[in-house]
Amino acid sequence: MKLFFSGLGGSGVSSIAGFMKEKGHLVAGSDRLFDVFPDHPLSRKLRDKGISISAQDGSGIDRSTELAVFSTAVEKDNPDFIKAEQLGVPVRTRPQYLTEIVSGFRTIAVAGTSGKSTVSGMLAFLMKRLGLGPNFIGGGRVKKFIANGNPGNFLTGYSDSLVVEACESDGSLVDYMPSHTIISNLDLDHHSVAETGRMFERLAENTSGLVVTGGDDDNLAVCGIKNTVRFSILRESEYRATDVRYHRLRTAFMLKGRRFEVSLPGMHNLYNALACIALLSELGVSGEKISDALPEFDGIERRFDIHLNDGSHLVVDDYAHNPHKIQSLMKTMRRLSDGVCYIFQPHGFGPTRLMKDGYIRVFADYLRNDDQLILLPIYYAGGTAAKDISSQDLADGVTAAGGQAVVIKRDEFPGMPLKQNTYVVFGARDDTLSDFAEEIAGRLR
């Protein structure tokens, strides 16, 4: 089948495009990001896979195109969309097409407002490592899967099992009919807690097999999700970690009489590991095999990526972008350093407007006297958006709540002195934040 993907630079679209290419289809695509940066690293990876990339001007679609798949960020007046309609090419949104793919496999859906990229990537890695031949379509780039032609966000295997990151942002997960589901947690992100909770309830109802949930999550506890297998740290559950020992950059724990270790720091990554252990154990995989494989998983790109750790300085790049993720990140950093410079770039005007109060609260609650908060201008990826909120609004709110925050443009930062020993750069969607973290690491070296 000849497929065209418009909005190919998005993590959700590129993973499906790479997956379908590896399954033997002819794949092409476009993205306005690649129009501006033709030699973008993701563009190179996709071209190495054999995916043809054209300008986002409609030229990549012709009468031989059998299906055009569009990112939800691509507007109806985009030349690609207009060309597909003119030629009568069948059109799907990315969520619609992913739903079709999901229906063709024994799917394990991984949901939750935080951590689903890590849980789905960790689960796919463990299943591959244990010889289960999984397929995988994710949002994050699994470091162990990165190769020529693979950014790390997809995997093809010999089995009919598919691990998929089930994102609540577009609401399409309510149409999934998975074999098994993990729902890690529930908090404010793309929608209100109540609205997302209803989506998770529907996903659980549609699941024919196991539903694994976070047993310590108060919001999940009041959802109408029944007959779940729970994992936890604080409360009793079927899979409760005990004797937890948080080391600097790893965590060890006991579970059902066996010692496990995850090579990632923080309580949130312990929860991520417990979700995978619970599901695999329920599917009959021995704890011994899981314990042997788990330490080999080294994470997802831009999820606590360490750019410098020389004993004196620490520089971290992270994808944290909602209040819950930021809280987990700041809790982890408190164990690692007495004084931290946090550099946060909010993503999108709509999400920033929705989560404004949550941002202000978490920064005011978790910033210490020796910490510093720098806010960059809101990341804008193009398209239509009401630009009626700014990073200065967040800074004013943090200050009014008793914290301290300043707003600077990114190009102003190189002229500022580096007074802290620890720096954390975080925010969603903008991969150049990794370059920013590396620049800071270079200055500290």
Per-residue pLDDT tens, the chain, 445 aa: give them. 999 999 999 889 999 999 999 999 999 999 998 998 898 888 999 999 999 999 999 999 999 999 999 998 898 999 999 999 999 999 999 999 999 999 999 999 999 988 899 999 999 999 999 999 999 999 899 999 999 889 999 999 999 999 999 988 777 889 999 999 999 999 877 778 888 889 999 999 999 999 999 999 999 998 889 889 999 999 999 999 999 999 988 999 999 999 999 999 989 999 999 999 999 999 999 999 999 999 999 999 988 999 999 989 999 999 999 898 899 999 999 989 989 999 999 998 988 998 999 999 999 999 999 999 999 999 986 666 778 899 999 999 999 998 889 999 999 999 899 999 999 999 988 888 999 999 999 999 8
For 42, 182, 258, 409, the CA distances from 146, given in Å and listed in that order, are 11, 24, 31, 32
Structural domain boundaries, residue 331: 305-444
Q: 132 and 159 share a domain?
A: yes
Please check whether residues 117 and 221 belong to one and the same domain. Answer: yes
- Are 64 and 114 found together in one domain? no
Domain containing residue 47: CATH number: 3.40.50.720
Residues 315 and 411 occupy one common structural domain? yes
Please report the pLDDT score of residue 445 as a whole number. Answer: 85
Among residues 248, 264, 296, which one ends one of the domains? 296
What does the block give as tokens for 61?
């679609």
Same domain, 193 and 233: yes
Specify whether 130 is located in the same domain as 56: no
Q: What is the pLDDT of residue 282?
A: 97
Instruction: Clarify whether residues 242 and 370 are in a common domain.
Output: no
Q: Which of 128, 168, 164, 104 is nearest to 280 (CA)?
A: 128
Q: Are 158 and 133 in contact (CB under 8 A)?
A: yes
Do both 266 and 374 map to the same domain? no
Strands 372-375, 106-111: pairing is unpaired
Same domain? 283 vs 193: yes
Nearest to 168 by CA among 81, 95, 77, 59: 95
Domain edge (last residue) among 238, 269, 296: 296
* Residue 310 and residue 424 in one domain: yes
Q: List the CATH number of the domain containing 162.
A: 3.40.1190.10
Same domain, 62 and 114: no
Collapsing DSSP to helix, strand or coil, 442 comes out as: helix
Our separate counts of H helices and E strands in the chain read 14, 22
Write out the two tokens for 369. Answer: 């006297």
Last residue of a domain, which of 271, 296, 321?
A: 296
The answer to whether the beta carbons of residues 251 and 335 sit under 8 Å apart is no
What's the domain count of the chain?
A: 3
Task: Provide the CATH number for the domain around residue 320.
Answer: 3.90.190.20
The gap between the terminal CA atoms of the chain, to the nearest Å, is 50
